[in-house]
Structure 1
Amino acid sequence: MAAERMVVIGGDAAGMSAASQARRERGPAELEIVAFERGHFTSYSACGIPYWVGGDVPERAALIARTPEEHRERAIDLRMRTEAVEIDVPGQRVRARDLATGAESWTGFDKLVVATGARPVRPALPGIGARGVHGVQTLDDGQALLDTLDGTEGGRAVVVGAGYIGVEMAEALLKRGYEVTVVHRGEQPMATLDPDMGRLVHTAMDAMGITTVGGAAVTAIRTGADGRVRAVVTEDAEYPADVVVLGIGVEPETTLAGAAGLPLGAYGGLLTDLSMRVRGHGNIWAGGDCVEVLDLVSGAHRHIALGTHANKHGQIIGANAGGGYATFPGVVGTAVSKVCALEIARTGLREKDADRAGLRYVSATVESTNSAGYYPGAAPMTVKMLAERRTGRLLGVQIVGREGSAKRVDIAAVALTAGMTVERMTTLDLGYAPPFSPVWDPVLVAARKAVAAVRAAGM
């Protein structure tokens, strides 16, 4: 009996996790695996790129979990610098182009995995394609940025956007000695937080020497006669720049899937069932940054680009494509980040998310410390908690503080996944010692305050 063939489009977290797991499920005699990757690298940590650029990670190789050669040793036919350019769903085949030679060929499949990731948002602005303007999504992007920094004489950097990538790249450029300006459209940086919590981030960034300009819509990138970037132009001002980094966010890279008629959601991501099968297609799976996922708190679908999800998706896809069974129930939207010494975390819903979902809620904000107040080095930490007004169900938590603050959000992530109320949270048996926490952990103090707010609000 001839082996089935699984074709994987995309050689990073979701794609190669799927290929590796499928290989564990079935040997080469039963399942042939062919993978296409248009870049130069596989199985790498895109989340680590800002720390590589900033010098915390000394070399690119440290970000690579598994090389193409290591994948091939596991009987995976991995074809690098090869871009899939067409999916023929009825014919069960993929057309791919060798980027070195331009040659194209068709490869048939019995099972298909779409793991095309996400692409940086690049608004259609004059000068957006100028030399010195960079998006940062892949290792190739990171290398291109480093090459630019190494070849740039000036010392002024402008980051457009103040989300996770924006603030992390601002820190990286600051560490490299650049004068950094962050320009963004929002009221406060970190739109993944409510504005009152984003204000804390803004204050901290200013104190670090990063100029943060909010409410500023970029209208153009000004270039010199040599075609290099010279400044970022907004409606009200112009900010000189020798290098520009786009941190506006990412969107699902589903151009290929959309052209093939595969179902896309409101955010442009592929829609799948619990087993990560593309809806309506029994032999096609999708995972990683190109899909939309179920938000377990609001019940809606969202696009969340995180390596944690991508690796889990890949494991589930590989198990199912290999003949096993696994499911991905959804997410609660947990994310952490940092800018210099400031840690930033969130999970669940923001106020505007709860409003959009039609939920009535109360909020509670507490200021505490990351260790017992009397312990040397105790530093400030702010926790904001949202709870459903009638039931007291936890809806979301945001944390801004110093070392030891961000990972506390995992307490709330577990509570959200379990559907806990804020009152139930107050009895959680969390670890305590003065170097790690006050006797009442700040998350539990916020839960107590949220319980009081729920009771005060009544029905």
Structure 2
Amino acid sequence: MSERLVVIGGDAAGMSAASQARRLRGPGELEITAFERGRFSSYSACGIPYWVGGDVAGRDELIARSPEEHRARGIDLLTRTEVTEIDLAGQRVRARDLALGTESWTGFDKLVIATGARPRRPDVPGIGAAGVHGVQTLEDGEALLDSLAGAPGRRAVVVGAGYIGVEMAEALLNRGYEVTVLNRGGQPMATLDPDMGRLVHAAMDGLGIRTVGASPVTEVLTRADGRVRAVATKDAEYPADVVVLGTGVVPETSLARAAGLPLGAHGGLLTDPSMRVRGQRNVWAGGDCVEVLDLVSGRERHVPLGTHANKQGQVIGSNVGGDYATFPGVVGTAVSKVCDLEIARTGLREKDAREAGLQYVAVTVESTSRAGYYPGAAAMTVKMLAERRTGRLLGVQIVGREGAAKRVDVAAVALTARMTVEGMTGLDLGYAPPFSPVWDPVLIAARKAVAAVRAAG
């Protein structure tokens, strides 16, 4: 007798889980039904800024697998259908057809929750005005492009200066807009320490992006027709023909909360290493709706990234399909860019280390992406944190031009392996003048961190 797997969410984690389970178990053994409230499946939300900015030619290039392709592979994917309730005792979910307005129940033997995250929206007057856009889904990207096409002028305000904020600032700049970024914090990129954030701030100003720190939005002002005309802070008004929200996301766990499933301090679902929801036998969860183990601090974190979602989906699908897999945790690696400025981080910031009760040293070095004499050598700044007593690597941040960001991968591997900074200095990294100085910038930082650990006793 076949079992039924129900998946809530048709993007990275949900459809990776469904696809992997289907590879392991055929339709005669496992019936798979997936619900997606949008029109699209298995797409790259991370690519939306580059589609808006013109680097990606069209929407469909961001879609890895369409609903029709999933159906052809034996997955009954229902789009424009929103799950409104999870009945754990009855092992069923209630879903609403958004086109028809009808509701029905679907039973399950196994359930995957992959409801993603929802954007934070400032709770201020006018935030729902025409011309104000989030960029969480492909539908959001379409709406923003339509709004840009009909905008009465070429002034854009981006609210928030995290990854999405700086990427959308670049996209709008590329489209010929005059861009202002309003940031609640003092410096852009709160995922970096403030001293590294200042480098990003200076570079953005140099690119022609006006970046205003310590400026939380108090109101969105509108014209007589209801469209946005300006964004107000307590100190000023900033004219805007379009506004993009880059204020971060929170786990979308309203269904899970209502069902009584366990949530962590950040509002995300809590799972074991197999991605099974804690305390549940037949319920799994993955993607932006879960919290994950930080391998450096040992604490649970909410880290909404497509890389994790896809890996977690594979783990879930393997376990649902009768195999076995685990997701060990993360070290918090992320890269981004704004125009030609590359930004990367992995591990802990100084704030994170203090909150985890760790004593640490921090060092910063200036270097270049290539041998200094080789054409195209670009400056980069590397900051490194190490545990004071043991010398264990705790975190790395990098800001620079071409060739900077992906160097963080060396540090990510070192963090996962729990290497010390002294051990890192012996890493046999590739060298040639077109690619690196004799001492790679990450290794220069490691050497300086070794000296700081020794000086600290």
TM bin (shorter chain)? over 0.9
Residue pair 2:362, 2:386 contacting (<8 A) in 1 also? yes
Which structure 2 residues correspond to residues 263-274 of structure 1 after superposition, within 5 A? 263-274=262-273
Which residue of structure 1 aligns with residue 150 of structure 2?
151
State the SS of the aligned residue for 2:124.
Answer: coil
* 1:199-257 Cα shifts (integer Å, max 9, x gaps): 00000000000000001111111111111111111011110101000001011011111
Moved over 6 A (4+): none
* Pairwise CA distance, 1:133: 0.5
**Aligned match of 1:443:** 442
Kindly provide the amino acid, as one letter, of the partner of residue 4 in structure 2.
Answer: R
Aligned-pair CA distance for 1:3? 0.7
Gaps of 5+ in 2: none
SS in 2 for 1:409: helix
State the match for 2:117 in structure 1. 118
| C-alpha distance in 1 between matches for 2:338 and 2:227 | 28
1:329 aligns with 328
Task: Classify the secondary structure of the residue corresponding to 1:353.
Answer: helix
Q: In the alignment, what sits opposite 2:350?
A: 351
Paired residue for 1:235? 234
Residues in 1 aligned to 2:225 and 2:145: alpha-carbon distance in whole angstroms: 20
1:50 corresponds in structure 2 to 49
The SS at the match of 2:288 is helix
C-alpha separation in 2, matches of 1:79 and 1:183: 39
Cα distance in 2 between the residues matched to 1:153 and 1:160: 20
Q: Does 1:86 align with 2:69?
A: no
Q: Deviations over 1:307-340 (max 9, x none)?
A: 0000000000000011110000100000000000
Tell me if structure 1 keeps the 8 A contact 2:122–2:217: no
Tell me which residue corresponds to 1:107.
106
1:402 counterpart residue number: 401
Shift of residue 151, structure 1, vs aligned partner: 1.1
- The answer for the alignment partner of 1:176 in structure 2 is 175
Task: Name the SS for the 1:447 alignment partner.
Answer: helix
Verify: 1:187 aligned to 2:186, yes or no. yes
Q: Please give the alpha-carbon distance, in whole angstroms, between the structure 1 residues aligned to 2:436 and 2:11.
A: 38
Aligned 1:17-28 pairs, distance under 5 A: 17-28=16-27
Contact 2:135 2:245 in 1 (8 A): yes
Alignment check: 8 A CA contact 2:5 2:109 kept: yes
Aligned residue runs from structure 1 range 13-412, under 5 A: 13-412=12-411
Q: Which runs of 5+ in 1 are unaligned?
A: none
Q: Distance in 1 between the 2:376 and 2:216 partners?
A: 40
Instruction: Give the drift of 1:153.
Output: 2.1
What is the number of equivalent residue pairs in this alignment? 457
How far residue 123 of structure 1 moved from its aligned partner, in angstroms, is: 2.0
> Partner of 1:415 in structure 2?
414
Q: Deviations over 1:170-211 (max 9, x none)?
A: 000000000000000111100000000000000000000000
Is 1:9 aligned to residue 42 of structure 2?
no
Secondary structure of the residue aligned to 2:377 is: coil
Deviations along 1:276-318, one digit per CA (max 9) or x if unpaired, are 0000001000000000000000000000000000000000000
Query: Shift in Å at residue 441 of structure 1?
Result: 0.1
Counterpart residue number, 2:453: 454
| One-letter amino acid matched to 1:456 | A
State the Cα distance separating 1:65 from its structure 2 match: 0.3
- TM-score, normalisation: structure 1: 0.99
Q: Which deviations, in whole Å up to 9, do the C-alpha atoms of 1:33-59 show, x marking residues without a partner? A: 000000011000000000000000001
1:173 alignment partner AA: L
Name the aligned partner's letter for residue 416 of structure 1.
L
SS at match of 2:402: coil
Identity of aligned residues (%): 81
Q: Which amino acid aligns with 1:326?
A: A
Could you state the TM-score of these two structures normalised by the residue count of structure 2?
1.00
Q: Which amino acid aligns with 2:359?
A: R
Supply the AA of the counterpart residue of 1:209: G
